[in-house]
Amino acid sequence: MHLMDHLGRKYEVDALDAAYDFTGHEKMDVDTALAVKEELETIDTLLKQLRDARENAQVGLIDMNALAKFAEPGDMEQLSALAQQVKDYVEELARQQGMEFTRDGYTLSPQAFRIFQNSLLKDIFSDLQAARRGRHEGPIIGEGAVEVPRTKRYEFGDSATHMDVPQSIINAMVREGVDAAGRLNMRSDDIEVHQTRNAPKCATAVILDMSGSMRYAGQYVNAKRMALALDGLIRNEYPGDALHFIEMYTFATPRHVSEIPNLMPKPVTIFESVVRLRADMSDTRISEFDIPPHFTNIQRAMQLARQFLAPQDTPNRQIILITDGLPTAHYEDEKLFLLYPPDPRTEEFTMREGMLC
């Protein structure tokens, strides 16, 4: 045991001699050499922290207690004051952007979500070219709840509640005028009614691919930006619509919009060029945590989206799928298949689910 300790201390002294150049004639014993080594390593660490703080404006990176052993008191006071200024500045910026500071750090508040979503929408629509005025309304003319300025002749079945009374009276007066008793004779062909526009609601399910391949080129970042921007657009412009998000990987999980910023691609755990795996998910001994998570199960995600859309009280239902490739996982009853490269069997079961949607 004593020999091992001696060899360890000798190794550290050799490392000190290799890492630093020394001059002079004063000798050091082993304990002094190890103390010098620790002090020099502390100085190196502080120098790196100071360089990082200068480049990134992150004064909090500096170990103030360690630095106080080597810096002048006046310099430490200035640095502490600078650190406090940076902290106050960050807190003020966070407050302006609606960030909330919790025990776990800064989190996005509802106000911050709205600010971020508006910023994303500005980016998305910043390059629009000049065009006629509009708000992306559909040309759905017919019996509806929203009157438009245009009118038409009354037809059997039109609702009298949409009658354009002034124009109908004018039509009758132009055609015949009033009789001797001052009465106006109005016929059905005098009546005009306002055209109406149907303002339907829509239910949308957005599937976000968070399989392992989405980490390449930061594709998952753009997917999350699109999802947050869509949520902001629908909340502001179409508040009656229903919107639901689904995270897709080997499985599929419903996600609240507040969870989207924290979504990350699943870690790749299998690196073979060919994968042929099957798991019986009815087996209580097998859970999601036992299965490689980085595959792409479009079938399961669409099934979950269909279950969400089914009870919505509108015929306008749609699924938006954001993915970077083909499906590599599917269910057959309770059996889960993981097949890579993409297999026709997975494609077949995925298309079956797509037809049900």
Percent of the chain with pLDDT over 70: 69
More reliable by pLDDT, 30 or 85: 85
The yes-or-no verdict on residue 29 having pLDDT over 90 is: no
The residue-averaged pLDDT of 107-114 equals 68
Q: What is the pLDDT of residues 228-284, one digit of tens each?
A: 888 888 888 778 889 999 999 999 999 999 899 999 999 999 999 999 999 999 999
CATH code reported for the domain at 203-356: 3.40.50.410
The residue-averaged pLDDT of 332-337 equals 96
Q: What is d(CA 353, CA 306) in angstroms, rounded to the nearest whole number?
A: 9
Q: Which residue has the tokens 């799928």?
A: 321
Closest CA to 292 of 261, 334, 336: 336
Q: pLDDT tier at 7 (50, 70, 90 boundaries)?
A: low
**Computed from CA positions of residues 324, 321, 254, 304, in that sequence, does the dihedral angle turn out positive or negative?**
negative
Count Cα neighbours of 150 within 13 Å in the Cβ-side half-sphere: 6
pLDDT (0 to 100) of residue 117:
65
In the chain, list all ranges with CATH 3.40.50.410: 203-356
Give the angle 12-16-21 at the CA atoms, nearest 5°: 165
pLDDT (0 to 100) of residue 128:
45
Q: pLDDT tier at 13 (50, 70, 90 boundaries)?
A: low
49: Cβ–Cβ under 8 A, 6 or more apart, which residues? 61, 62, 63
Q: How many residues does the chain have?
A: 357
Give the CA distances from residue 210 to residues 101, 215, 279, in Å, rounded to whole numbers and listed in that order.
Answer: 28, 8, 21
Q: pLDDT tier at 131 (50, 70, 90 boundaries)?
A: very low
More reliable by pLDDT, 308 or 108: 308
pLDDT (0 to 100) of residue 150:
75
Least confident of 62-76, 184-198, 305-319: 62-76
The helix (H) or strand (E) run that includes residue 87 is helix 73-96
